[in-house]
Amino acid sequence: MLEGKVVNLRIEEKEDMRLVAEWVNNPDYFGEYIPLMQQSRTELEKGYETMPPEVRWFIIEKKDGSKIGSIGHFPVGKVFEMGYAIIPSERGKGCCTEAVKIMVDYLFLSKDIGRIQAHTDIRNVASQKVLEKVDLRRKEQFVSPRSSEESGEICVSTAFSEKSGKNRRY
């Protein structure tokens, strides 16, 4: 378990897939910036069982044990990318910022990597602020072909990368 002041991160377990299925099938969980996934518990369990060892997803838990979101990391070439989501009722309280900080610290301290990145929709200012608060810098903007099949909407993403190292040693 990775421990913070307000939240802890623990590796997802197969038993968590019921809750994860509830989250990913709720349009409010990812919000307006990520298309709804619509995955069954069975599909999620199969994905969990076949997940490569270098890919890890964690449950974000408050100190009282309540589960409020998920955060994960996965390699893309020589870079690690991360993604995260938190239930709407816990947004704006610093929980996501702390979870991302814990994950960034964990990755830099435990993996031989020089860069971590996360993509956000250009309109998702709250997520961009989370990344900025943990010293990830905006590196580039580009048009991404990520889109929902329903709308065909093209999302503009902002990449954050390269730990600034400010006030930290790795």
Instruction: Supply the pLDDT for residue 114.
Output: 79
- Domain 2-116, what fold? Aminopeptidase (3.40.630)
Q: Give the SS3 label for residue 136.
A: coil
Instruction: Supply the pLDDT for residue 155.
Output: 34
Q: How confident is the model at residue 145 (pLDDT cuts 50, 70, 90)?
A: low
Burial of 116 (0-12, 13-18, 19+ CB in 10 A): buried
Q: How many CB atoms lie within 10 A of CB 7?
A: 27
Tokens of 24: 């990913």
**Are 144 and 156 in contact, with CB atoms under 8 Å apart?**
yes
Q: Is the pLDDT of residue 136 over 90?
A: no
Instruction: Supply the pLDDT for residue 108.
Output: 86
Q: Give the SS3 label for residue 154.
A: coil
**33-37, 79-83, 106-110: segment of lowest average pLDDT:** 33-37
Mean pLDDT score of the chain: 82
pLDDT tens digits, one per residue of 86-129: 999 999 999 999 999 999 999 988 888 878 888 888 778 898 89
Every domain of the chain and the residues it spans = 2-116
- Is the Cα dihedral 79, 128, 25, 62 positive or negative? positive
Q: How confident is the model at residue 10 (pLDDT cuts 50, 70, 90)?
A: very high
For the residues 122-151, what does the mean pLDDT come to? 72
Instruction: Supply the pLDDT for residue 161.
Output: 45
Instruction: Supply the pLDDT for residue 152.
Output: 32
